[in-house]
Amino acid sequence: MKHIFSKQNRVLLGELVRTDFKLRYQGSVLGYAWSLLHPLLLFVILYAVFVKFLKLGTGVAHYPVYLLLGIVLWNFFNEMTTQSLTSIVGRGDLIRKIRIPRWIIVLSSSISALINLLLNLVVVGIFMGINHVDLYRTLLLLPLILLEVYIFALGASLFLSAAFVKFRDISYIWEVLMQAGFYLTPVIYPLSKITNLTLQKLILINPMGQALQDARYTSVTHDTTTIYHVFQGGWYQFIPFTIVALVLVAGVTYFRSQSKYFAENI
């Protein structure tokens, strides 16, 4: 593992990401514009349903931006894990015929997702401007929260991609889990709608719940319920970070133990 970021590996990583990105909108008329248009259109639908018809966001300042930020972060996690899950098997032709570090494949698919996230955040920024969201100094903490989500997703991705080589139904299981996670995480509803404190605590122990709420707190409105509030600053508030660290360690360990046998198992 000495040469993790050797020149060769960096070149390869760059080339794989470039290829991914080039191929993503291959043959579509609008091309790269879809990376912005896609989240925007999804957002319009959710906005119409949850803000206009169900009026979920009453009482939350800048709810449209609050909603959009949540969707963007959740989509990033979803996209990165789902794409990485099939990345090793999908690149089976390479793995069986050439010696490249296996983790580069997962990393390249994660970076593609990361690029998408950054583009989406541009859309969020535009909406913040339109909605006249006050810029807090805490906005500077947002990159740290994004890093947390990325590390969480990376750990999960490494684990899932390695497991998928042996167990192909992981993809269906993960799809269902992600669907459940979407509702267990306060993506579309404000956490303040849930009045039961224990339930709030449980939701915020989930790293995605904690990260989403923290991201909203730092950049949309300080009126957001965060893990700091529900545990009133106690040690419990570090549970999500511990989970993230454990997932990363488990993911890396499992991936390393399995990657030797990818070529023969795919």
Partner 1 sequence: MNDELAIAVDNVSKIFKLPHDKQTSVKGTVISFLRGGKATYEKQHALKNISFEVKKGEFFGIVGRNGSGKSTLLKLLAGIYTPSKGSIQVNGRLTPFIELGVGFNPELSGRENVFLNGALLGFSRKDMAAMYNDIVEFAEIERFMDQKLKNYSSGMQVRLAFSIAIRAQGDMLLLDEVLAVGDAAFQQKCFDYFEELKRQKKTVVFVSHDMSAVRRFCTRAIYIKNGDMLHDGNPAEVADMYAVDNLENMQAQAVKKDSAEPQLPKTFSVASKITKQTDASIVLDVTFKTKEPDDLYIAISVLRDGASVAEITTPLDMELRGNGRVTYTLDATLFNSGMYEVPVVLCKKENRQLVSISTGKNRFVIKGEDPIRGAAFKLEDTWKYHEQ
- 45 forms part of the interface with partner 1 (CB under 8 A): no
For residue 164, how many other CB atoms are within 10 A of its CB?
21
Q: In the bound complex, what is the minimum distance in angstroms from residue 20's beta carbon to partner 1? A: 10
Each residue 60-99 as x (binds partner 1 by CB under 8 A) or -, in order, gives ---------------------------------xxxxxxx
Which of 2, 45, 195, 264 binds partner 1 (CB under 8 A)? It is 264
Contact between 52 and partner 1 by CB under 8 A: the answer reads no
The reply on whether position 31 binds partner 1 by CB under 8 A is no
Stretch that binds partner 1, among 125-133, 147-155, 165-173, 210-218 (CB under 8 A): 165-173
Determine if 8 is a binding residue for partner 1 (CB under 8 A).
Answer: yes
Smaller CB distance to partner 1: residue 55 or 260?
A: 260
Binding partner 1 by CB under 8 A: which of 55, 166, 193, 222? Answer: 166
Q: Closer CB to partner 1, residue 12 or residue 119?
A: 12
Binding stretches for partner 1 (CB under 8 A) = 7-8, 11-12, 14-16, 19, 22-23, 26, 93-100, 166-170, 173, 260-261, 263-264
